[in-house]
A and B are shown apart, each in its own frame.
Chain A
Amino acid sequence: MNRIKIMSRILKILSLLYFVFFGCLPFVRKMPDGVQIVWGTYTTFSDAPFGAKLIVVLGAGLIFAVVITWYQLLNLFEKGIIFSGRNVQLLGRIGCLAFIYGFLGIFSPLLISTWFAWIGSFPMSLNFVWISICAFLTSPWVIVGLFLVVISRIMDEGRKIQEEQELTV
């Protein structure tokens, strides 16, 4: 139990330090000739289309939600509360958020292409559909998200066993 508490404290501090000092903008890459946002390269961030900026904002929102949930979960582990309903809920939430983040990252080029086709700027590229499906099946975020949801269900079983044991006289 002590090793779980110590590890939780270390992870809390490291997570906080990382996001305070380094932060992150999802789906954004600084390239030598500009900025790559959601698979498109632009000179500056403001040159990106509205759809790409919206996806970056949604991604940042998801990250923020994961960070808060992760912090709450580590707080509970640090207090020694391992198998509780709240833990199960938080872990399941992180899994779902990771899955949505992976989904957003993979299908964002397709969504932007669909948007451009809708407003009549460019025809929709069907290549994105096939690429997105293949990427979805191999995305680490989708796999991690599903794995965490499985772990949350397992923790729920642990919670039931612990509750049953606590009620045993």
Chain B
Amino acid sequence: MFGFYERGLIFASEAVRCIKFLGLLCVAQWILGTTYHILLKYYPIIPFQPTLPPGVSVTVKEATISRMGFFSFDIWGINFGFLLAGTVIVLIAWIMDEGRKIQEEQELTV
């Protein structure tokens, strides 16, 4: 994408396609990540437990960390940050597509 911009091809269809692909990759990453976390919640991976000597025990405590940060977008344990980023990038791709149409129209004007 930056290669196209470097050559001055700002509203080229290839550049628009690159941005759209980036946006869709973000959304795909969100889908895969969310699916993985949901599966992990219902099918947790049991860690390897070594044989301990007599009198020794291991206590596992789960700490809950709630993040109240900008753009953490954690709602009900699901992070929507990548989904939002992907949606915004796709919106930018659509806007660039409008620019491409305007440029093509202008190039065809005699």
Contacts and interface: CB of A to CB of B under 8 A. Distances in A.
B70 A63 contact: yes
A86 interface: no
Interface string A5-30: 00110010000001000101111111
A86 to B, nearest CB: 14
A165 interface: yes
A30 B65 contact: yes
Interface of A, helix, strand, loop or mixed by DSSP: helix
Interface stretch (B29-37, B39-47, B91-99): B91-99
A69 to B, nearest CB: 14
Contacts of B90: 7
A101 B70 CA distance: 10
B95 A29 contact: no
Contacts of B52: none
Nearest to B63: A32
B95 A24 contact: no
Contact of B98 (A1, A28, A157): A1
Contacts of A22: 75
Interface in B49-90: 63-70, 72-73, 75, 87-88, 90
A150 B15 CA distance: 14
Contact of A161 (B69, B70, B103): B103
A82 B68 contact: no
B102 A168 contact: no
Interface string A145-161: 00000110011011001
A43 interface: no
Interface residues of A, number: 34
Contacts of A117: none
B98 to A, nearest CB: 5
A3 B106 CA distance: 23
A77 B95 CA distance: 9
A1 to B, nearest CB: 7
Interface string A48-62: 000000000001000
A157 B103 CA distance: 10
Contacts of B95: 4, 77, 82, 155, 158
Nearest to B99: A158
B38 to A, nearest CB: 20
Interface of A: 1, 3-4, 7-8, 11, 18, 22, 24-32, 59, 63, 77, 82-83, 101, 150-151, 154-155, 157-158, 161-162, 164-165, 168
Interface of B: 5, 10-11, 63-70, 72-73, 75, 87-88, 90-92, 94-96, 98-99, 102-103, 105-106, 109
